[in-house]
Amino acid sequence: MPTKKATKAVLDVAVGGACGKMGERILAVLAGEAGCRLSAAIEREGHPGAGKDVSETLGGAKRGVVLGTRLAKTADVLIDFSHFSATRARLAECVKLGVPILVGTTGLEPATRAALEAAGRKIPVCVASNVSIGANLIFRLAAEAAKVLGEAYDVEIVEAHHRLKKDSPSGTALTLAQRVAAALGRDLEKERRDGRRGDVGARTRTEIGIHAVRGGDVIGDHTVHFMGLGERIEITHRASTRDTFARGAIRAACWLAGAKPGFYRIEQALGME
C-alpha cells in the first residue's frame, strides 16, 4: 500500500523483531501487499533461526529472506518491533545506511527516545505506542472529551493484554494518559496513580488512574473512563487481531519511506492530519 509520498513501485521493507508476535503478522500481511516486499528480517543475536530462511522459524512458504541479526543492507524503510533493548542497535544501523525507521516497540528508555528524536535530523523517524488507526483515533477523542468535560469528571484508564506482555502499563495506556493530562493542563508524572492498594485515602480531584490487566490471549483493550456525578462516559478500543496493527504499521512505513528526515508523529504517517 505505498502512498503518494513513496516514489518506487515496490518498496523494500525490512522488519525488526521478525519472529515475534507482531513481526510474524507484519510478514504475513506484507506477503499480500503488491506494493511492498520483504527485503530483510532481523532478530536478536543467538536466535535459533538466524542464518536460515525466515520461513523455517515461522512456517509457510519460503520467503527467500534469510533471518539476520542486524540490518546489513539498505532498504526503503525498517519496521521495528524488536525488544526495546535492541532498538538502539537497529537505530544505529538505520542511520548508517540512511534507512527510515518506524518503531512500534513500547517500554523505551528515555535515553533511547532521545536518540530516536536526534536521529530525525538525519533520517525519517516515527515512534508509535500504537499503529492502528482506531487507537490513534481514541487518543484524539479522549483529549477532546477531557477538554469538554473538564475538572468535574474523574479519569481512569484501564488496559488489558495477554499474559505474556512484559511491560506495564501499555504504551497505548500511557499515551492516552498523556493526551488527557495535556488537555486538562495537568502534570502526569505528579498525578498518575498506577493501580491502588491499601489505605490510600479518598481519590484526589486531579489524579489520573492507570490500571493494567494481564491474562489469556487478549490482544489489546483500552478504555478511558470519565466519571462524573450521575453519569459516566467511556471511550473504548478493542483489537481482535494483530493484523490491524500490521496493516497500520505498513501504511505508516510506506509514508515514511517517501518522507524527508524528521521526527514524525504517527498521526502524520497514517494520514490522519
- C-alpha angle 226-232-237 in degrees, rounded to nearest 5: 65
- pLDDT, one tens digit per residue, over 22-41 is 999 999 999 988 899 999 99
> Is the model's pLDDT at 19 over the cut of 80?
yes
What is the domain extent for residue 166? 133-239
Look at residues 91, 50, 232 and name the one whose alpha carbon lies nearest to residue 155: 232
Would the pLDDT of 245 be above 80? yes
Rg of the chain over all Cα atoms, to the nearest angstrom: 20
In a domain, 6, yes or no: no
Q: For the segment 161-204, what is each residue's pLDDT rounded down to a tens digit?
A: 999 998 899 999 999 999 999 999 999 999 999 999 999 999 99
pLDDT at 8 over 80: no
Burial of 49 (0-12, 13-18, 19+ CB in 10 A): middle
- Domains held by the chain: number: 2
pLDDT at 2 (0 to 100): 45
Residue pair 116/125 in contact (Cβ under 8 Å)? The answer is yes
**How close are the terminal C-alpha atoms of the chain, in Å?**
18
Share of the chain above pLDDT 70, in %: 97
Question: In the β-sheet with 124-127, what is the strand arrangement from edge to edge?
Answer: 67-68, 36-42, 11-16, 77-80, 101-103, 124-127, 262-264
In a domain, 4, yes or no: no
What is residue 30's three-state secondary structure?
helix
- The mean pLDDT of the chain is 94
Please tell me whether residues 125 and 145 are part of one structural domain.
Answer: no
pLDDT value for 266: 95
What's the full length of the chain, in residues?
273
Q: Which of 52, 96, 161, 225 is catalytic?
A: 161
User: Residue 145: what residue type?
Assistant: A
- Residue 93 domain flag: yes
Could you tell me if 250 and 122 lie in one domain? yes
- Per residue, the 3-state secondary structure of 151-191, as one string, reads HHCEEEEEEEECCCCCCCCCHHHHHHHHHHHHHHCCCHHHH
Let me know whether 19 and 126 are in one domain: yes
Evaluate if residue 58 carries a pLDDT over 90: no
pTM recorded for the entire structure: 0.84
**22 and 127 in a common domain:** yes
Q: Which of 8, 96, 147, 165 is catalytic?
A: 165
Does residue 197 lie within any of the structural domains?
yes
- Phi and psi at 177, nearest 5°, equal -65, -40
Average pLDDT, integer, range 54-60: 85
Cell of 49: 533461526
What is the rounded distance in angstroms from the CA atom of residue 24 to the CA atom of residue 47?
A: 15
pLDDT, tens digit, for every residue of 123-171? 999 999 899 999 999 999 999 999 999 999 999 999 999 999 988 999 9
Residues 227 and 259 placed together within one structural domain of the fold: no
Q: Can you give the CATH number for the domain in which 96 is found?
A: 3.40.50.720
Instruction: Lowest mean pLDDT of 54-58, 117-121, 207-211, 213-217, name the range.
Output: 54-58
222 tagged catalytic: no
- Is residue 213 within 8 A of residue 159, CB to CB? The reply is yes
Active site residue 161: yes
Q: Decide: helix, strand or coil at residue 211.
A: strand
Asked if residue 80 lies in contact with residue 14, where contact means CB atoms within 8 angstroms, the answer is no
Taking alpha carbons only, the member of 192, 190, 185 closest to residue 169 is 192
251 & 121 share domain = yes
